[in-house]
Each structure stands twice: as C-alpha cells, then as structure tokens.
Amino acid sequence: MFKNSIFIIIITIALALSVEFVMYGIYLVTGSKYVSSLREDRSRFIHYNGKVLDCHIDSKVDSKDHVKKPIKIAIFGGSSSAGYASPVSFTDLLCDSGFNNNHDLKITNYAANAAPLSGFQAEIIKSVMSYFDVIIIYSGHNEPMNQLYLRDTRTVFPNGVPFEHPESVHKNRVQELNNIKYRLNPKHPIGYPMLVEDSRIHYFTVRIIDMLTRSMGAQFKPSSEEKIYPKDFYYNDYFISPTERQSMLNLYKKNVIEISNNVRKDQKLIISTVMANDIFPPLADVYPESDDNEIDALNDKLTQIYLSLSKKEFNKVRESINTLPKSAHRYYLEGVLCLEANSGSNNRMPKDCVSKLKKARGLDGLPSRVLPEINSFIRQFHHDNVVIVDPVASMMNKVGNSDDYKRYFIDFHHPSNLGHALIAENILLGLFGSNMTSRSYNVRACAIDWEDNGELKSFNIGNEKCMLYLKTNIRWHDTLMKIQPIPNQYDYYKSIAEKALMGLEKKNKVTH
C-alpha cells in the first residue's frame, strides 16, 4: 500500500514536470502569456507600468572622486505622462543629457493610460515613494474614472461607452500594486516562488478559473446595461453627476495632501499643472430635465452651427448661438468667435476669450479634460519639499493665436512633442532651479517641424518609433471620428499626424 502511494506520487510529479517542460517549450517558441509563469507575466506587466530609464552620464564624479549616484525619479499620471501617441515624451526629454544639462538621472515611469490619481496612481505613490529622491505628479484628466469604479455596478455612459465592472477593476488594481511591491522588494517564504511564481500549471489554472468567473458574471448582467445610445452633443442623462464631480475634486486634494505629508526632508515632490486643449469642442452637454424632442432639436441645431464653423461662416454662427442655452457648447463657440474677432492682433490670446473657453471646459458634461478647479488647487498648494510647476501658464505666455496654441496638443488633451518639451522644461526648472540654461536639443522629431528659435531644435528618434506613434495617433482619431456627430477638430489633428507620417515615409524612401 505504501509502495503504491509512493509510486503514484512519483508518477504525478513526473507528469507535472513533463507538462511544465512542454509549456516552457511552447512559451520559448510563441511567447504566449497563456503558458507563462506568474513571474514572467509580472515582468511583462512591470515593463509597461514601471518602465525604468537609466540616464547615466559618463565619468560623473563628485568632489570626493566617488562616482555620483543618479537622482532616482518616479513619474506618475495617466496617458499624457506615459507619452501616449507622441514620439517625444517629457520623460524622454528629462532623460536626454542635452536637454537636462548633463544631470545623472534614473527615471521610473509608473504612468498608465486612463489611470486616475485617486484610488490608483496615488496608491502606487504611497507604496513606492520611499525608494525615490524625486516624485513627479502630472495627473488630472482621468479622475472621472475613479468615480465610475466607486459605483456598485458596471457603468455604460449615456453615449454608449461601456466600462468594466468595479469589482474586476479593483481586483486588477490590487494585483498591480502587488506586482510593483514585489519588484521593489521580492521577498517570499521558502518554497513559495517555485509553487506560485514559477509554476506554469498553477498560473494557467488560476487564469482559467478567473476567466470562467468573469464569463459567469457577464451572463448575469442586467439587459438594461446593454442599451447603446447614439453619440450626440446634448444628453438628458448625467455621465458624472454633480456630486461625483465634487467628490473628484475632494479626493484629488485629499490624495495630494496625504502624499505631501509623507515626503521626507531629503526628498522632493514636484506637482505640475495639467495641460488641456481649450480650443476643442466640449464632449457633451447634459440637460437632465429635457425631453427627447428638445434634445433632438438642440442636437440638430448645434450640428448646423458646427458645420458653419468648419466652413468659417462666422456670421451664421453668431446669429445661431444666441438661441442655444447657456452651456459648455455655447461658451466654447463664443470663445472661438472671440478669438476670430481678435485674429489680426499680435498680442497674446485675449483673456476674455480664454476665459470663455476655460468655462466651457469646466461645464463639459463628459469631463475628460482636467477640471479647471484641479489646476487652481495645484497653483495655490503649499507644502514643505513640494515644488509646483506651471507649464499651462508657460504655454499661455508663449502663444499669440489659436494656431500657436493648437501646436501644443495632438487632440483634446494629450500634449504634442512641443507640449512635452514645455512640461519637461518646467519640471527641470522645478528640480534644479534657475541655474538651468535654456534647453536646445538636437531633434527634428519625425517629420514634424519645430521652431528653430534657439530653444527648440531636434531630438534623435528612430524612424520605427516615430511611425509607430504617428500611426497610433491616426488610429486614435479615426476611432473618435467614427462616433462623432461631425468630425469637429479630430480631423484637424488627424491630418497633422498624416502629414508628418507622409513626410517621414518620403524621407525614408530618399534615404534608402
């Protein structure tokens, strides 16, 4: 009996090792995550959400002839901080010796697409900030996401966009935090790594169970959640309620204060204002007490107004907007007409025009651009070892008209190469002070033209990376344009990316 038990155990172990070996072979050939171990999958995840850039400068020594340790920097935020769709990100520039005046830095970027500060990035900051000399926060666009995941049920926006169930999101967030903590401090009991971290059978089983659980949960979703609505300018349902908007602000402030309270005397926290494209139409207006007929009439009227605007028939726009309710779209149109009336001036963009556009952003029913109140809070915030930088104010001091302004963006809020350069310059000034010289770096990034005014030149980037980011930008705008009542300015920014890509492809043919 005992010998039989031993034999069964040996056979079982041999079979398990054989399966492990076969799965390992498949992984080596295909790289499939379905036959990976937890450790391998974690490494893949960390590479995306915790990318490390070693920005070492050769032969850097201090006064005692010891090699200087690099300044360890951690960056937090959403897609803008992650450098979405821009060939040059402010992280790249901080790491470029020609831009940062040969400072020796080691940068870890924890930013992730669609990640809000509250509930997500803030929890990572609190977990890892003790490992860094400098913490940089450029975050504010994604705060509505946290409100969706504080709800009890899965959300489908009034414009038909669905989101994950909060339970799934929070489960993934816990795993994300565990992954990051493990990389910084990989300690486990004896035998744990072999069983959990390295066993492919174990991780495969866990994934299958998780997939089945999610599938079963999906079968019991209420049918009302599946109702899809057309994309319009006006809606009679809230995307984010007034109470949730206030909660967004309160939580953002609360997290900034908590993080600031945990900054050591030998650390520095840099908080940046967040750029948002105010010369871009609001994404939605919400009238909760309107009936369907009234909403339809408003949508038809606004469609005609925006078509007149795209044809530069400004008199028609002026005649029509007075019939609109005082809302985000009306203030936006008034701001655009105000800029048009002042287009012949060489002065800065008039404050009254900018004020109308900013008000439109604040009233946007779908607040995917940073709320003005968040930037106002950042500007007035004071705390020991906290430095506030303001690229938004720097941008407004530089631009003279709407064309200048639009060059800082690739859409309604993601910065362009020029925008990232401005953010990086402000961060470096906050980090090293006024002894920083004017940045002039060596790139004509992709085929995008830069001002050659002594401050901006070019930054060497491989053609493959340029093409990848430009194509990502074009696909992003294609997707957005398909669901809009009219293209608005999505087509403008798409055309900019297309021209840059065409120029780059033409240059490659000539070179090769």
- Paired with 388 in beta bridges are 271
Relative to beta strand 386-389, strand 268-272 is: parallel
Contact partners, residue 33, CB within 8 Å, separation at least 6 = 41, 44
Q: Are residues 199 and 70 in the same domain?
A: no
Q: How many structural domains are present in the chain? A: 2
Query: What is the distance in angstroms between the CA of the first residue and the CA of the last residue of the chain?
Result: 75
Q: Pick from 227, 243, 277: which residue ends a domain?
A: 227
Gyration radius of the chain's alpha carbons? 26
Nearest Cα residue to 313 out of 301, 321, 305, 325: 305
Q: Are residues 76 and 139 in the same domain?
A: yes
The pTM for the full model equals: 0.82
pLDDT of residue 222: 41
Distances (CA, A) of 69 to 54, 56, 61, 65, 103: 11, 9, 9, 12, 11
Determine the Cα–Cα distance for residues 139 and 79; give it in Å rounded to an integer.
Answer: 9
Return the structure tokens found at 122: 């803030």
Amino acid code (one letter) for 218: A
List the alpha helices (DSSP H) in 322-350. 328-341
Q: Are residues 80 and 136 in the same domain?
A: yes
Determine the Cα–Cα distance for residues 464 and 470; give it in Å rounded to an integer.
Answer: 10
CB 134 within 8 A of CB 72: yes
Q: Are residues 27 and 120 in the same domain?
A: no
Q: Are residues 30 and 56 in the same domain?
A: no
pLDDT of residue 187: 61
Q: Are residues 23 and 91 in the same domain?
A: no
CATH of residue 81: 3.40.50.1110
pLDDT of residue 182: 73
Q: Pick from 227, 251, 276: which residue ends a domain?
A: 227
Q: Are residues 254 and 140 in the same domain?
A: yes
Residue with tokens 């207006």: 285
Q: Are residues 64 and 198 in the same domain?
A: no
Residue numbers of the chain with a pLDDT score lower than 50: 42-49, 58-63, 65, 189-191, 217-228, 441-445, 447-458
Q: Is 183 in a helix, a strand, or coil?
A: helix
pLDDT of residue 77: 97
Task: Output DSSP code: residue 382.
Answer: -
Nearest Cα residue to 22 out of 200, 196, 193, 194: 200
Q: Are residues 243 and 219 in the same domain?
A: no
CB 165 within 8 A of CB 174: no
Return the structure tokens found at 384: 């020991």
Domain that holds residue 74: 36-190+228-511
Q: Pick from 167, 201, 227: which residue ends a domain?
A: 227
CB 229 within 8 A of CB 158: yes
Determine the Cα–Cα distance for residues 394 and 382; give it in Å rounded to an integer.
Answer: 20
Q: Are residues 202 and 65 in the same domain?
A: no
Q: Are residues 100 and 207 in the same domain?
A: no
Q: Are residues 143 and 271 in the same domain?
A: yes
pLDDT digits (tens, 9 = 90+) for 462-474: 677 778 888 999 9
